Amino acid sequence: MSRSYFHLHLVSDSTGETLINVGRAAAAQYEGISAIEHVYPLVRSGPQLERVISEIKAAPGLVLYTLVGGDLGERLETACRETGSPCLSVLQPVHALLQSYLGAQTTARPGAQHMLNAEYFKRIDAMNFTLAHDDGNLPDDLEEADVILLGVSRTSKTPTSIYLANRGLKTTNLPLVPGVPLPPALEAAKRPLIVGLFASPERIVQIRQNRLLSLNADESTLYVDREAVADEITSSRRLFTRNRWPTIDVTRRSIEETAAAILDLYRDHRLKFIAV
């Protein structure tokens, strides 16, 4: 199936993360069509906007923007009408709904969601903790973690941990390796939510083979043997069941979907922990 492409211009007075997420989520719904992204972050002055407009004129397409200060949004929309490029303020409908509901006027603050507040520093602290405790490192202070992820090699523990850290959760991940005992501190851990990750043997073998290929390593090893991998996964699931740890099958889940499921589990876990 041949693919078609269109230019997607994302103009932001902040980092552009909101626009990127919205644009990709919407474009993903159209099979066989891909967006050529043009991202313009930190657009807060007339000269900066003029450079953006010149690029839109050179490659007309769809324009999404989040410009909350001054008349930059109006100037962008005028230029887009002249070039025939559909243009939409992504936040304007949300602002209008909030204003109607709250009965209050907005205060234009570009990048306000990225202010250096307590939540921001909480995420930084969680990220530092998570990176220091990746792949079984520093196992003696597991009680300080918010979440502990367990799973055999290639069950997306590290990227899931980093995603959770970006949401403010201190996350430790421990690999389950045949013949290697788990750290004693795990049994004593009461505060953290412990989650077991697993996937189908076929999926694990495929990922491990790709990993070995990228390293130019020998593939004649139990690491990618289908029966050996199946035994690893079976043993891990028995461990999870024995300890009554919640589990997530990551075979067909994205990192975001896995993290969302863990966040739901964590909310319930914290309520129970606080109630005790």
C-alpha closest to that of 173 among 190, 198, 156: 156
Q: Which residues are annotated as a binding site?
A: 151-158
Both tokens of residue 117? Answer: 């507040």
Q: Are 110 and 69 in contact (CB under 8 A)?
A: yes
Residues at the annotated binding site for ADP?
151-158
Query: How far is it between the farthest Cα atoms of the chain?
Result: 68
Residue pair 139/185 in contact (Cβ under 8 Å)? The answer is yes
Percent helix, strand, coil in the chain, to 5, is: 50, 15, 30
Measured between its terminal Cα atoms, the distance across the chain in Å is: 57
Distance, CA of 193 to CA of 245 (rounded, Å): 8
Report d(CA 165, CA 63) in Å as an integer.
Answer: 32
Per the CB < 8 A criterion, the answer to whether 102 and 141 are in contact is: no
Instruction: Return the CA Rg of the chain.
Output: 24
Q: Which two tokens stand for residue 52?
A: 């953006």
Measured between alpha carbons, how far is 127 from 107 in angstroms, rounded to an integer? 31
138 sits in the region (left: phi over 0; alpha: psi -120 to 50; else beta) called: left
